[in-house]
Structure 1
Amino acid sequence: MPRNLNEFRYMTFDVVGTLIDFESGLSGCLAEIAAEAGVTIDAEEALALYRAARYSDATDLFPDDLVRVYTIIAPQLGLPAEKAYGERLRDSARNWKGFADSRAALAELAGSYRLIAMTNARRWAFDHFSKELGEPFHAAFTADDTGTEKPDPAFFEKVFAFVESEGASKDDILHVAQSQYHDIGISRKLGMTNCWIERRHAQKGYGGTIEPEAFTEPDYHFTSMAGLADAVRQARG
């Protein structure tokens, strides 16, 4: 049985994909470019192509890497391959929306826990995401801050050091994320208690997120942030 939700002092959050709907943001921008070019695209195909292009040896930090990714996937989607369109895709991150339940759930959870963002996005993008989410975080760690990306254990070690500076430990953290590959698997290996937010529960496949080598059964499992907030409310009576 997982630990009681009342036992944690912190919740750490993956941001892009868990709280921010990056798949809709990506596919929406690509659809706009396609409409201007007089073609149509399939959103799931676009996400699969994005995933294949994003996770290669030539990757840059996210979302800056979307410029490179666009030039790779554009010909496969029948889109114009000019760099300017890739820059447009990158800059669309400034307008990506949170999932419908993210902001309210985070506001409620912030009343009971210290919330920490853990994102592979660069700081410039995270600043927009945080504003979209209502600025709920006690602290935030981005790829710029850590010099690495999840699932690198070094990213998590930076967060462990921070909570230790506040007199706590990783045992005081519930790690919340949608990505099996970037978060759930590695958090289990590092001995954290985790919570899987299965955002794609009504869809097949892994969408824009890389598929893990093996599925990790989480300690907690919800299909929405609202589900987690409800569980916390019930645990606190």
Structure 2
Amino acid sequence: MTKGLPEFKYLTFDVVGTLIDFEGGLKTSLIEIGKQAGVEVDGEEALTLYRQARYAEDAELFPDDLVRVYLAIAPELGLPAEKHFGEKLRDDARQWKAFPDSAAALARLAERYKLVAMTNARRWAFEYFSKELGDPFYRGFTADDTGTEKPDPAFFHQVFAFVESEGASKDDILHVAQSQYHDIGISRELGMTNCWIQRRHAQKGYGGTIEPAEFTRPDYHFTSMAELAAAAEEAAHA
């Protein structure tokens, strides 16, 4: 039986795609570059090309890798394959916005749980994302801290070690994420309770996130962070 929401001590979060609208940020930047070059960019096509390029064998840490990704996809989009545009795509991550419900929902959840970020982004980018979200995190783990990226189990095991150092265990964690590939599937394999925030519920496909080999039915399923925060408050008063 799935644990009730009041039973958890920690909520761990994927950040990029769950709390921060990276797809919107990418599309905005690519469309702006297109306007400068006199090219109309289709946002969903750009996300498909991004997804294919992002998971190449020579990929670098995110979002630094956006320079390489841009140079790979620019010809397909009819955009100029110039490094400075790739650097713009990378640097624009500093201005990526949170989903409209993220900051308020996190503030509500922080009243009941310790919030822990688990992001494949580098530390420099995470600091901007955290500020955009209102700096709600009790602790943050980045690709720089772990030396790896989800869905590598090693990333999760470092978080397990952290909560164990505080006298808790992975059973005290609810892992919250939108990516079936990076988070929901592997968290299930590792015996965690998970919560899928289906950000693309009104859209087809997986957008900028790699498609999982198979779909994992989550323990909890919401289409927004606001729904999770409301459910946690309702469960606490039940």
What TM-score do the two structures reach when normalised by structure 1?
A: 1.00
Matches of residues 126-141 of structure 1 in structure 2 within 5 Å?
Answer: 126-141=126-141
Q: Does 1:228 align with 2:231?
A: no
1:37 maps to which residue? Answer: 37
Matches of residues 47-126 of structure 1 in structure 2 within 5 Å?
Answer: 47-126=47-126
Deviation at 1:39, TM superposition (A): 1.1
Paired letter, 2:158: K
Deviation at 1:236, TM superposition (A): 0.9
Partner Cα separation in structure 1 for residue 142 and residue 184 of structure 2: 18
* Aligned residue pairs, count: 237
Q: Does 1:196 align with 2:217?
A: no
Deviations 1:115-144 (CA, angstroms, capped at 9, x unpaired): 000000000000000000000000000000
Paired letter, 2:225: M
Deviation at 1:222, TM superposition (A): 0.1
Deviation at 1:12, TM superposition (A): 0.0
RMSD: 0.4
Partner Cα separation in structure 2 for residue 102 and residue 93 of structure 1: 17
- In the TM superposition, structure 1's runs of 4+ consecutive aligned residues that sit over 3 Å from their partners are none
Partner Cα separation in structure 1 for residue 111 and residue 127 of structure 2: 21
Deviation at 1:228, TM superposition (A): 0.2
2:6 maps to which residue? Answer: 6
Deviation at 1:2, TM superposition (A): 1.9
Q: Which runs of 5+ in 2 are unaligned?
A: none
What TM-score do the two structures reach when normalised by structure 2?
A: 0.99
Q: SS of the counterpart of 2:117?
A: strand
Partner Cα separation in structure 2 for residue 96 and residue 163 of structure 1: 30
What percent of counterpart residues are identical?
75
Deviation at 1:102, TM superposition (A): 0.1
Partner Cα separation in structure 2 for residue 55 and residue 4 of structure 1: 36
Deviation at 1:188, TM superposition (A): 0.2
Paired letter, 2:156: F
Partner Cα separation in structure 1 for residue 40 and residue 225 of structure 2: 32
Q: Which runs of 5+ in 1 are unaligned?
A: none
